[in-house]
Structure 1
Amino acid sequence: MQSRRNILVKSGLTLAAGLLTSTHSAADLKGSAPIRLVVPFAAGGASDTISRTLGVKIADIIGAPVLVDNKPGGGGVIGATATLAAKPDGRTLFVASNGAMIINPALRGDLKYNPDKDFKLVASMVRAPIWIWVRADLPVKNVDELVRLAKQRSLSAGSAGNGNITHLAMANFADIAGLQLNHVPFSGDTPALTALGSGTLDVSFNALIAALPMYQSGRIRPIAILDGNRDSALPEVPTLTEAGYPGTSAAAWFGLAAPAGAPDQAVREINKAVNEALAMGDVRERLKGLGFTALPGSIAEFQQMYDREVATWRPLVKKLDLKAS
């Protein structure tokens, strides 16, 4: 006959095994249920393109369909809110950026969530420097000419939205150059660049990927890149520092974040899949051609980058006294 102690031990082991099995099942993302990537900007922009590029690979690696869900508006607020309203099972992920996660808390006094606490960082994906683009018929060929023209007459300057890194890059440049630009926020890179290409906007601050179609059609042109080095895609375009305006570097980064309650195992599974996708040769070639730099790394490394961004951009929002319009 089994002792009472042995029965209790065996019962405890059986219960523990059941809990482990249950936990694994809850975090196992493989299957027919889709993984949703919530992109807080319009289709065709930088975050949308990278989400679709990596989404295909993530689906193959994990063995589950990946859907891209565009929810533009509010500088990322609409997409972030939609993500936080979803079940925190690791299947709904926010395509996070420094605009939505870093800048919004400093820019908006009415933010209904705290990105630092309500989200769990999952995986960094890519980095893309910001460029200054002008409409083709604007009578400027370089940054100095743009500054002179802006001091002579009012120029409209577009961004991908209030709180977006393109907005802050524009405001920082205007402050350093000592000029006023009439900020026009859009719901993403594509609408801003469409307005620029149609001639209804003078200047726009955007990543290369979003601007390529308009640039290739001859409707817009770049005059500077806001990065430490020139880009091999358009090596003739100088950096803003080379043009005489140091302290103006700015780049968008994109990564994945989940509601804070998402299972750790699911988060690790997504992180692993993103890193595997970023290591693929065809992915790296595509990213390079689109002006992206891959940002593989652990969750801890993503957190370190996030903390550095907080220390850089939030104080600048306050210094420039920026408000969401």
Structure 2
Amino acid sequence: MVRRLIALLGFAVCAWSQIASAQDSYPSRNVTIIVPLAAGSGTDIMARVLATGLSAKLGKSFTVENRPGANAITGAEYAARQPNDGYTLMFGGNGTHSANPHLSKSIKYDPIKDFTPIARLATAGAVLLVLPDSPYKSVADLIAAAKANPGKLTYGAPNAGSQIASETIKKVMGVDITRVPYRATPQAMTDVIAGTITMTFVDVAAALSNVTSGKARALVISSAKRSALLPDVPTMQEAGFKDFDLSYWTGLFGPANLPKDVIATLDRTTAEIMNETAMQDTLRALGLEPSYLRASEMPAYVKTELDRWGGFVRDAGIEPN
């Protein structure tokens, strides 16, 4: 699916293919984009789509390198330690920069001090997946089963957002559902489909093909609005969780103290790509909502989101480990 959607950008790539002008010294060689999640996650798909555009626009190869592990902490720590020359970037978001600092005591990076924020690209909700032939047709069904069988239902936690959404349900409804940690979103989806675990929250981009093919059933979406791609899936608010809005966001980062000319080149070029109709259509086809913020807007946004997700963690009663 990823290759097919990237191919849809073909005519836009032709428009982007002019090489950077002679006065632009960056990039003079290929660039690596670290994705701290496994291939097939929504963040990974988004990174590959943007890398296609950056490669065409700037005339050097932008390639994705997946470094999953520890709820995206492994890849983020690696990216933070790289030289601040612009040749190693990272796709981060609510996991790396908003939730993980509140969930882990052993995290070895500061989300504010150790990164240069370049752009926010998209936002999206996560859907709660169960087996299609399970008895659970709504969140109410799940909660009833959890109350009748304390600790026997299980949820997969491939990332911080998934854990927080699931723990919020447990906290608000007073039920005991056992957490099963995963290194990656595809593994959690596979185990839901196999019946190994009861449920998992997965971003729309990663879940879409399994839902539309009937391999999994989506009960709710975590964002305040329904997804245009899954219009029959109600929001958590509609399911009775007042004011609940756990929207994921994805952004482009570099190590701390990136040179100003590098920031300017990436800021300008990413803005041009994000303004392309083809790019916006591709993101929406993936279940992502184009939601661009420029480099000058990012520091305040990252700080606000760090504080907001800290509130989610506290409200869900999650103790950092």
Shift of 1:219: 1.8
Aligned residue number for residue 208 of structure 1: 204
Shift of 1:324: 5.4
Aligned residue number for residue 97 of structure 1: 93
RMSD: 1.9
Identity fraction in percent = 27
Tell me whether 1:68 sits opposite 2:64 in the alignment. yes
Shift of 1:188: 2.2
Shift of 1:319: 4.1
Aligned residue number for residue 123 of structure 2: 127
Q: Is the 8 Å Cα contact of residues 135 and 201 (structure 1) preserved in structure 2?
A: no
Choose from 281, 288, 294 the match for 2:284.
288
In structure 1, what residue type is equivalent to 2:85? D
Q: Is the 8 Å Cα contact of residues 43 and 91 (structure 2) preserved in structure 1?
A: yes
Structure 1's 280 and 77: CA in aligned 2 closer, same or farther, altered over 3 A?
A: same
Shift of 1:84: 2.0
Tell me whether 1:267 sits opposite 2:250 in the alignment. no
Distance in 1 between residues matched to 2:314 and 2:23, nearest whole Å: 42
Distance in 2 between residues matched to 1:180 and 1:273, nearest whole Å: 48
Distance in 2 between residues matched to 1:188 and 1:50, nearest whole Å: 16
Tell me whether 1:28 sits opposite 2:28 in the alignment. no
**Which structure 2 residues correspond to residues 176-325 of structure 1 after superposition, within 5 A?**
176-323=172-319
In structure 2, what residue type is equivalent to 1:212? L
Q: Is the 8 Å Cα contact of residues 98 and 307 (structure 2) preserved in structure 1?
A: no
Q: Is the 8 Å Cα contact of residues 174 and 180 (structure 1) preserved in structure 2?
A: yes
Secondary structure, counterpart of 2:95 in structure 1: helix
Structure 1's 259 and 245: CA in aligned 2 closer, same or farther, altered over 3 A?
A: same
**Which structure 2 residues correspond to residues 11-160 of structure 1 after superposition, within 5 A?**
28-31=25-28, 33-153=29-149, 154-160=152-158
In structure 1, what residue type is equivalent to 2:73? V
Distance in 1 between residues matched to 2:197 and 2:32, nearest whole Å: 34
Shift of 1:26: 11
TM-score w.r.t. the length of structure 2 is: 0.88
Cα deviation digits, residues 96-153 of structure 1 (max 9, x gap): 1111111111111111221111111111111111111111222011121111112112
Secondary structure, counterpart of 1:116 in structure 2: coil
Cα deviation digits, residues 144-196 of structure 1 (max 9, x gap): 111111211221111223xx222112112221222222111212221111111
Secondary structure, counterpart of 2:292 in structure 1: coil
Secondary structure, counterpart of 2:27 in structure 1: coil
Choose from 130, 152, 174 the match for 2:170.
174
Structure 1's 248 and 178: CA in aligned 2 closer, same or farther, altered over 3 A?
A: farther
Cα deviation digits, residues 224-264 of structure 1 (max 9, x gap): 11122222211111111111111322121110111113212
In structure 1, what residue type is equivalent to 2:154? S
Distance in 2 between residues matched to 1:284 and 1:59, nearest whole Å: 18
The structure in which a higher percent of residues are helix is: 1
Distance in 2 between residues matched to 1:252 and 1:229, nearest whole Å: 13
Distance in 2 between residues matched to 1:129 and 1:313, nearest whole Å: 15
Structure 1's 110 and 30: CA in aligned 2 closer, same or farther, altered over 3 A?
A: closer
Distance in 1 between residues matched to 2:312 and 2:138, nearest whole Å: 26
Aligned residue number for residue 8 of structure 2: none
Distance in 2 between residues matched to 1:26 and 1:77, nearest whole Å: 37
Q: Is the 8 Å Cα contact of residues 168 and 315 (structure 2) preserved in structure 1?
A: no
Secondary structure, counterpart of 1:173 in structure 2: helix
Distance in 1 between residues matched to 2:298 and 2:168, nearest whole Å: 25
TM-score w.r.t. the length of structure 1 is: 0.87
Q: Is the 8 Å Cα contact of residues 228 and 249 (structure 1) preserved in structure 2?
A: yes
Deviates more, 1:72-81 or 1:305-314: 305-314
Aligned residue-pair number: 299
Distance in 1 between residues matched to 2:241 and 2:38, nearest whole Å: 31
In structure 2, what residue type is equivalent to 1:193? M
- The runs of 5 or more residues in structure 1 that have no matched partner are 1-24
Q: Is the 8 Å Cα contact of residues 26 and 89 (structure 1) preserved in structure 2?
A: no
Shift of 1:72: 0.3
Q: Indicate the structure (1 or 2) with the bigger Cα radius of gyration.
A: 1
Q: Is the 8 Å Cα contact of residues 139 and 219 (structure 2) preserved in structure 1?
A: yes
In structure 2, what residue type is equivalent to 1:84? A
- The runs of 5 or more residues in structure 2 that have no matched partner are 1-21
Distance in 1 between residues matched to 2:131 and 2:178, nearest whole Å: 15
